[in-house]
Every structure is written in structure tokens, then in C-alpha cells.
């Protein structure tokens, strides 16, 4: 496996120019697509590029049939599968595939299925898309010719150049396999080239040499017909790795994809948040401001909950603590999970403090102790199980609130999913837009604990060091 080195971020400014009018071609292509776009989101951050779409947190047949009957082009299903064990995710995806097939048949509407995963390549892949492929082929008779691997996400600084996936850190592009994300206890990897990553994560079942690559040079040439021919040549669920450095690259690819679909080919997708935005035809909109989110009559404080432990989150927390804001900070000691009844006591302590401040009109940040609690075990499911137990305790603070805060911010993938589904009890939420690039906001549904609440979903691995502070300033009108 070839090793790759960091690149200066300035290479993004010296790439070949686009030829042709990709956006005009895209509009024509999408007009003829004729399919509902369904996005399975393995944590709530996948809506970080869209607005005015619905997210469902359940996937029973009745709910999915309702979603198919909505006039919208696209909807999301929050699976939170990154917080599940392998057996749990397997069973979940089997059920989702069966219910999607039933809802599609009941409504007579065809669909395109995207598995939205982490832009830093973590998650239960290839298992999840293999389960979807197997069940949908058995239930519908449709055959999937290939799987598109598309982790590009510019809002988070994720770019794929020359087949290699990079994570921007400051003024450098770091090969993904060299980042802290690749060392994840549950979903680690070593490869940076997407073709190598496919081979590594599949245990060699999808060799790098057999991966179809759609290159940046092909995308910049703007020849969608030529790219469509490459896609149409893929068979037997072969992998298709796509370069991208800006959204126009995605537009060219989607135009080519629509041509291949029109020719009778079928694909599944493992992607980050950029592809759903373009496939769904979602236009840009300005970043959200306080007046669009917070009820002017609510004089209560808000609450920020921080569960993520990646270095970026710790830096963002430090910047928030250093800001001149009327914010109260409460540390949650998750290491008490090792004590009998320790987490329960810690929840009660933190909840009492947080409620008193919110009632008094003071906003609160509850953050987990910054030292990670890693078990001395190679059992990934056991480590994940401890993480989920801690997340359940931390997020229960929101669920136990007896007073409505003016806003809720959750930092981290598992944390934000649990806050949305378990604590706020959201069944369906509208994505209002983004408060900062890559940081989405839900407006909670009528059935939730706090209907109409602005709920900010802040990914652990997204944003500048100052973005958490900026989010707080917007929500607190400072």
C-alpha cells in the first residue's frame, strides 16, 4: 500500500479549470431523474449541507410510506448506526431495506438510496451497503451494478485528489490515513487512497486494482457522456471512487450518473454530505441567524452539550471558555462509569446545576472530562458499548430537563443523535439550514419534548477552532 504525504492547501487554487456549463447540464439531468432520494444517515450530521428537508428518526413501514408520499424530492432517515454494534447495525439495515421496498411498492415511487457515512471514512462499511444490496435485490429483483464511494465534503475540509482522500488541517491537506480519525478505536484504518481503503476495509474482497476511478481531470473536462460510459461498465457491485475538489465536480458526476441510470444501470452510494445536496437539487441559502431560530419571548438560558473527544472539539471548547460570554461551564465526569452507580450520581449533580442556571436566564455548557476513557481491550464492540453507556448518561441531562431552554446545541455524532432521538424524542424534524458551514439546525417536530426548538447539531470533527464560540454568540445574541 502506497504511503502519501501532506499537501499544501494551496494546491486547491491551482487545479485545472472547469470546461462547459455543469450546472445547466445538471438541471436537465435532475429533471429526468424521477426517483425519490432516500438518505440513510449514520449520525445526525449528514444534513449539514441541506435545508427545508425532513429527517425521520423511525423507519417502520407506516413512517416510510408517509415519507414517500411527501412531495419533497428527498428525505433523510437517522439510523445512528455508527453508535451500534455490528450485529445491531446489520439487523437495522435489513429492516430498513425491507420497509423501504414495501413503502416504494405501496406508493409506486422508485427511489435512489444513499448511505451517508463519515467524511473521514469511519463507520460500518462495507457491511451496511452489502446488507442493503442483498435485501433490496432479493425483495425487488433489481440488481446493483456498482457502489459509489464519495466522501468529499468541502465544508468540513474533505477533498479527494488523485484518488487520495485528504482532511484539511490549517494550511495543509493531510492524507486521511494519517489523521486521528484513522486511529478510531472502533472504525480505524490505514489507507488514504480510496481504492486502497476499499480493499483494506473489505479484507481484500474488493481489490484496489479493480476499483473504477472517476478522476478530477475527467470531471474538469466536463464530458459527462464519457464518465457515464465508465459507470456503465462497472458490474458485480464494483467500487467507484470519485475525486472532487468543489461542488461543480459533483455536478458533473451527478449528470453522468443520471445518464447511467437512464441507461438501466443501478448503484448504491457510500458518501458524505455533499452528494445528497447536489442529487437533491438543494440550492444554497445564507447561514441562519438568531432571529430565525430563537423565540424572542424566551428569556431562559440555552444549553450546549459536548460529548465528542476529538482534538478539534477540545480546541473549540477551549476557545468558548476563553470568550467573554455569560456562560456557565459544568464538567461531566464520564470516568465514573467505572463506579457502581457513578454515572447516575453524576447525572443528578450536573442536571441540578444546569436547570438552576437555565431558569435564571444563564446559558450553560456541559462538557465531558477531556481525558478519554479507553478500555484495555481489543474488543471494539465492548469499547463501543462503554461509549454508548456514557452517551446515554450525558444525553439524559437534556431528556430530564423540566424547563424549556432557549436552544440546545449537541457536539459530537453519537451525542447529537441520542439528544435528538432519546432526549428530545423527535420523530420528524425539519432541517432549517446551517448556523455555520457544515453545522445544521433542526426545528423539532410537534411530537417532541420541546416542539419547535432550535436544535444545533455540531459534528465533532467539523468547524474552525472558533466556530463553537461563534455559534454560542449567534444564539445568545452577542
Map residue 381 onto helix, strand or coil: helix
pLDDT tens column, 404-436? 999 999 998 778 888 999 999 999 999 999 999
Query: How much is the pLDDT for 224?
Result: 97
All 3 cell numbers of residue 160? Answer: 479527494
Residue 45 has pLDDT above 90, yes or no: no
Name 434's Cβ contacts closer than 8 Å, sequence gap at least 6. 48, 49, 51, 287, 288, 440, 441
Residue 258 has pLDDT above 80, yes or no: yes
Query: How much is the pLDDT for 279?
Result: 98
All 3 cell numbers of residue 312? Answer: 478539534
Average pLDDT (374-400) is 80
CA-closest candidate to residue 445, choices 80, 77, 55: 55
Query: How much is the pLDDT for 387?
Result: 76
All 3 cell numbers of residue 10? Answer: 494551496
Average pLDDT (183-200) is 96
Query: How much is the pLDDT for 427?
Result: 95
Query: How much is the pLDDT for 338?
Result: 84
pTM of this structure: 0.90
Query: How much is the pLDDT for 372?
Result: 74
Query: How much is the pLDDT for 17?
Result: 95
Query: How much is the pLDDT for 328?
Result: 97
Average pLDDT (61-75) is 97
Query: How much is the pLDDT for 377?
Result: 65
Q: Provide the β-strand partners of residue 114.
A: 39, 269
Element (H, E) at 114: strand 111-116
**Residue 201: band (very low, low, confident or very high) from pLDDT cuts 50, 70, 90:** very high
Q: Based on DSSP, count helices (H) and strands (E) in the chain, helices before strands.
A: 14, 19
Q: Are 253 and 227 in contact (CB under 8 A)?
A: yes
Q: Are 327 and 363 in contact (CB under 8 A)?
A: yes
Query: How much is the pLDDT for 459?
Result: 86
Residue 316 has pLDDT above 80, yes or no: yes
**Residue 375: band (very low, low, confident or very high) from pLDDT cuts 50, 70, 90:** low
Query: How much is the pLDDT for 380?
Result: 67
pLDDT tens column, 352-365? 999 999 999 999 99
Query: How much is the pLDDT for 378?
Result: 67
Cα 157 to Cα 381: distance, rounded to the nearest angstrom: 29
460 or 110, higher pLDDT: 110
DSSP H helices, 202-285, are: 216-221, 224-232, 247-262, 274-279
Average pLDDT (348-377) is 90
CA distances for 294 relative to 289, 302, 442, angstroms: 9, 10, 12
Mean pLDDT of the chain: 94
pLDDT tens column, 164-188? 999 999 999 999 999 999 999 889 9
**Residue 326: band (very low, low, confident or very high) from pLDDT cuts 50, 70, 90:** very high
Cα 150 to Cα 138: distance, rounded to the nearest angstrom: 26
Name 247's Cβ contacts closer than 8 Å, sequence gap at least 6. 154, 274, 277, 278
Amino acid at each position: 500500500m502506497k504511503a502519501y504525504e501532506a499537501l499544501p492547501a494551496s494546491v486547491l487554487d491551482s487545479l485545472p479549470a472547469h470546461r462547459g456549463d455543469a450546472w445547466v447540464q445538471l438541471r436537465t439531468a435532475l429533471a429526468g431523474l424521477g426517483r425519490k432520494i432516500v438518505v440513510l444517515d449514520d449520525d445526525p450530521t449528514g444534513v449539514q449541507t441541506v435545508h427545508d428537508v425532513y429527517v425521520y428518526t423511525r423507519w417502520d413501514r407506516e413512517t416510510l410510506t408517509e415519507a414517500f408520499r411527501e412531495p419533497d424530492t428527498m428525505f433523510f432517515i437517522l439510523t445512528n448506526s455508527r453508535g451500534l454494534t455490528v450485529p445491531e447495525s446489520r439487523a437495522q439495515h435489513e429492516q430498513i431495506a425491507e420497509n423501504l421496498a414495501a413503502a416504494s411498492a405501496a406508493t409506486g415511487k422508485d427511489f435512489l438510496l444513499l448511505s451517508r457515512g463519515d467524511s473521514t471514512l469511519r463507520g460500518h462499511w462495507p457491511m451496511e451497503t452489502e446488507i442493503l444490496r442483498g435485501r433490496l435485490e432479493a425483495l425487488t429483483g433489481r440488481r446493483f451494478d456498482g457502489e459509489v464511494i464519495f466522501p468529499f465534503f468541502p465544508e468540513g475540509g474533505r477533498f479527494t485528489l488523485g484518488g487520495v482522500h485528504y482532511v484539511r488541517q490549517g494550511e495543509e491537506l493531510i492524507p486521511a490515513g494519517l489523521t486521528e480519525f484513522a486511529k478510531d478505536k472502533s472504525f480505524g484504518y490505514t489507507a488514504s487512497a480510496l481504492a486502497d481503503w476499499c480493499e483494506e476495509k473489505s479484507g481484500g474482497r474488493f481489490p484496489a486494482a479493480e476499483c473504477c476511478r472517476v478522476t478530477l481531470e475527467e470531471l474538469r473536462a466536463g464530458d459527462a457522456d464519457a464518465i457515464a460510459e465508465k459507470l456503465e461498465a462497472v458490474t458485480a457491485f464494483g467500487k467507484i471512487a470519485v475525486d472532487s475538489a468543489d461542488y461543480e465536480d459533483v455536478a458533473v458526476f451527478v449528470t453522468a450518473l443520471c445518464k447511467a441510470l437512464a441507461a438501466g444501470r443501478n448503484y448504491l452510494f457510500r458518501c458524505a454530505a455533499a452528494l445528497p445536496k447536489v442529487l437533491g437539487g438543494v440550492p444554497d441559502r445564507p447561514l441562519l441567524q438568531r432571529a430565525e431560530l430563537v423565540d424572542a419571548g424566551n428569556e431562559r438560558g440555552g444549553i450546549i452539550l459536548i460529548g465528542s473527544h476529538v482534538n478539534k472539539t477540545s480546541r473549540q471548547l477551549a476557545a468558548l471558555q476563553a470568550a467573554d460570554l455569560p456562560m456557565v461551564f459544568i464538567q461531566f465526569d464520564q470516568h465514573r462509569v467505572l463506579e457502581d452507580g457513578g454515572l447516575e450520581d453524576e447525572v443528578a449533580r450536573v442536571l441540578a446545576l444546569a436547570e438552576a442556571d437555565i431558569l435564571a436566564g444563564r446559558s450553560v455548557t456541559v462538557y465531558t472530562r477531556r481525558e478519554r476513557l479507553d478500555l484495555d481491550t481489543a474488543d471494539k464492540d465492548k469499547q463501543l458499548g462503554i461509549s454508548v453507556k456514557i452517551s446515554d448518561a450525558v444525553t439524559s441531562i437534556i431528556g430530564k430537563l423540566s424547563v424549556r431552554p432557549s436552544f440546545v446545541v449537541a457536539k459530537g455524532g453519537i451525542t447529537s443523535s441520542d439528544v435528538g432521538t432519546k432526549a428530545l424524542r423527535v420523530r420528524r424534524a425539519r432541517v432549517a439550514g446551517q448556523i455555520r458551514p457544515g453545522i445544521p439546525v433542526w426545528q423539532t417536530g410537534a411530537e417532541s419534548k420541546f416542539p419547535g426548538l432550535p436544535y444545533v447539531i455540531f459534528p465533532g470533527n467539523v468547524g474552525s477552532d472558533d466556530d463553537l464560540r461563534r455559534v454560542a454568540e449567534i444564539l445568545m445574541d452577542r
